[in-house]
């Protein structure tokens, strides 16, 4: 499984073009952040952590709780 | 340039976006401002189950040397009733509170819920984000503390990010450690011991227990082109210690008629659950953010697998629809599916050998969660933004075990609908 994912990633990354700093106007917008709203994301993660058996993937830590 | 936006751009580091930083913004002299985000979340479950109110406030400041600090506080107030693990039956069912002193009765046909559920949680966290080695690497150190009346958690993490390829590629390695302790009301129940009739004893092993969690993530964020960013993460998590839920029980049934059966006068027909004392999880996470002409698509997929036998798939989709003048509408769709843990069971049968582990916690069952939501945000005066968000979360449970006798007359794994409303206000102020 992981080998397949790795190969897929390398394939995708090899298709990338080098974007110069002066062409990063769109990428630099706050709305283009991977997590545009940290608060929305943290509240959602907390809800799903307390109602489902999976967690993590995006980052580490985040504060444990007795809800699960 | 809008100061709040400027800090936010730099904060993108936190989600592996060193590559979003331009040399121009890196050399600007930081302003002494706090970039504040606040929200209050109202969470309600159907059928009178859990209700929660959760205010959050977060402040971020860029220091003169370019370091970025963040402080956050979350308060959580929960009331209502939560499933115990016992299932509905054609007889009235009596349960003992965790304290062992009082009892409550659930009418025949109703899902047993513990309505003594009441909790308040306070969580504080902070992080320090600074350049290390050179202008291409950053280190984010974080700490968090969470406290409830019966549970406390202390965590630390370190996240290292390194830019390559003209800041088009960022490698990210993160390590998180968490130490949790639990002191449940009434104490730690003896695994598979019966819940006792109120006032006749409690079948407890200890007053408290603990667990540790170690998380590791290795990831790559790549600029695909001028309008597309892609992230891949591989995660490993190891939990060890007391991973059982001390408040969860399993119905002990007659193997023929399926009704709860008590084995002695002081025993109730419910056994305390028992989970393994270790858990290893692995995750694969992929996210893509793509800028259309005006709007933005943010889509992610997560695969999760663990040695409890739980595999899950999560697809998350946000579409930011620009309304002009800084306002936007953002629909949200999320789909989640998981299969049951190997030791998940609806009930245990009297007279049969006990398994090594068992739990009837619906969260370890086989189910699908669907979420549909929408957010509206608009500027509210100079350098501030107001937002409102509403979501409906529907959890559809699938039967895992073949019903026995009377069990066939009841919904042993009821579905759950939740509704959330969130109000948000972001602003900044100068010191």
Bigger pLDDT: B33 vs A32:
A32
Residue B116: is its pLDDT beyond 90? no
Least confident of A51-65, B166-180, B293-307: A51-65
Residues B229, A34: C-beta atoms closer than 8 Å: yes
What is the pLDDT, as a whole number, of residue A62?
62
Q: How distant, in Å, are the alpha carbons of B244, B306, B395, B400 from that of B196?
A: 19, 34, 32, 28
Give the separation between CA B260 and CA B270, rounded to whole angstroms: 8
What is the pLDDT averaged over residues B182-195? 94
Give the separation between CA B231 and CA B223, rounded to whole angstroms: 9
What is the pLDDT averaged over residues B117-140? 91
End-to-end CA distance of chain B: 18
Strand arrangement of the beta sheet that strand B249-253 belongs to: B194-196, B267-272, B249-253, B347-349
Any chain B CB within 8 A of the CB of A48? yes
List phi, psi (to 5°) of B403: -60, 145
Cβ-count burial of B64 within 10 angstroms (0-12 exposed, 13-18 middle, 19+ buried)? exposed
Any chain B CB within 8 A of the CB of A27? yes
Instruction: Supply the CATH number for residue B282's domain.
Output: 2.40.160.40
Residue B23: is its pLDDT beyond 50? no
Residues A36, B217: C-beta atoms closer than 8 Å: no
Which positions ≥6 away from B207 have C-beta within 8 Å? B183, B187, B188
Q: Domain of B229? A: 3-430
What is the pLDDT, as a whole number, of residue A61?
73
Residue B423: is its pLDDT beyond 80? yes
- Token pair belonging to B170: 């960022």
Give the separation between CA B335 and CA B300, rounded to whole angstroms: 11
Residue B189: is its pLDDT beyond 80? yes
Confidence band, pLDDT 50/70/90 cuts, at residue B323: very high
Give the separation between CA A55 and CA B92, rounded to whole angstroms: 36
Bigger pLDDT: B202 vs B124:
B124
Give the separation between CA B186 and CA B97, rounded to whole angstroms: 9
What is the pLDDT, as a whole number, of residue B301?
98
Confidence band, pLDDT 50/70/90 cuts, at residue B363: very high
3-state secondary structure of B253: strand
The domain tally of chain B equals: 1
Residue B416: is its pLDDT beyond 60? yes
What is the pLDDT, as a whole number, of residue B10?
47
Give the separation between CA B316 and CA B298, rounded to whole angstroms: 8
Any chain B CB within 8 A of the CB of A14? no
Cβ-count burial of B134 within 10 angstroms (0-12 exposed, 13-18 middle, 19+ buried)? exposed
Residues A62, B56: C-beta atoms closer than 8 Å: no
């Amino acid at each position: 499984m992981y080998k397949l994912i790795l190969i897929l990633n390398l394939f995708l990354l090899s298709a990338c073009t080098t974007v110069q700093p002066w062409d990063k106007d769109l990428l630099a917008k706050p709305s283009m952040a991977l997590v545009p709203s940290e608060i929305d994301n943290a509240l959602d993660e907390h809800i799903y952590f307390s109602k489902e058996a999976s967690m993590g993937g995006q980052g580490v830590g985040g504060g444990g709780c007795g809800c699960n | 340039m809008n100061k709040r936006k400027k800090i936010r751009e730099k904060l993108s580091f936190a989600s592996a976006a060193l590559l979003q930083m331009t040399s121009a913004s890196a050399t600007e002299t930081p302003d002494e401002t706090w970039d504040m985000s606040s929200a209050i979340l109202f969470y309600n479950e159907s059928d009178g189950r859990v209700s929660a109110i959760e205010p959050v406030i977060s402040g971020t400041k860029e220091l003169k040397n370019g370091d970025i600090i963040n402080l956050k506080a979350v308060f959580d107030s929960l009331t209502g009733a939560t499933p115990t693990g016992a299932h509905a039956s054609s007889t009235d069912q009596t349960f003992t509170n965790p304290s062992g002193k009082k009892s409550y009765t659930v009418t025949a046909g109703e899902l047993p819920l513990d309505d003594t559920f009441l909790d308040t949680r306070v969580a504080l966290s902070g992080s320090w984000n600074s350049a290390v080695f050179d202008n291409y690497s950053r280190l984010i150190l974080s700490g968090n503390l969470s406290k409830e009346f019966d549970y406390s958690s202390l965590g630390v993490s370190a996240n290292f990010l390194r830019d390559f390829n003209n800041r088009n590629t960022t490698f990210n390695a993160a390590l998180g450690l968490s130490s949790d302790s639990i002191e449940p009301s009434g104490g730690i129940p003896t695994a598979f011991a019966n819940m006792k009739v109120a006032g006749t004893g409690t079948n407890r092993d200890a007053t408290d227990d603990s667990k540790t969690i170690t998380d590791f993530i290795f990831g790559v964020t790549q600029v695909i082109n001028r309008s597309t960013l892609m992230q891949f993460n591989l995660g490993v998590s190891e939990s060890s210690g007391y991973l059982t839920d001390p408040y969860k029980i399993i119905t002990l049934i007659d193997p023929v008629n399926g009704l709860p059966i008590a084995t002695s006068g002081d025993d109730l027909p419910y056994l305390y659950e028992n989970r393994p004392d270790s858990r290893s999880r692995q995750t694969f996470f992929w996210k893509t953010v793509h800028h259309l002409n005006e709007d933005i698509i943010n889509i992610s997929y997560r695969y999760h697998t663990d040695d409890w036998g739980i595999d899950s798939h999560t697809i998350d989709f946000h579409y930011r629809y620009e309304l002009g003048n800084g306002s936007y509408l953002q629909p949200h769709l999320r789909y989640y599916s998981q299969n049951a843990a190997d030791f998940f069971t609806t009930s245990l049968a009297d007279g049969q050998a006990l398994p090594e582990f068992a739990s009837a916690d619906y969260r370890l069952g086989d189910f699908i969660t669907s979420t549909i939501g929408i957010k509206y945000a608009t500027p509210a005066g100079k350098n501030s933004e107001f937002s409102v968000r509403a979501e409906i979360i529907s959890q559809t449970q699938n039967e895992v075990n073949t019903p026995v006798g009377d069990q066939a007359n009841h919904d042993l794994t009821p579905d759950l609908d939740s509704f959330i409303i969130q109000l948000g206000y972001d602003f900044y102020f100068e010191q």
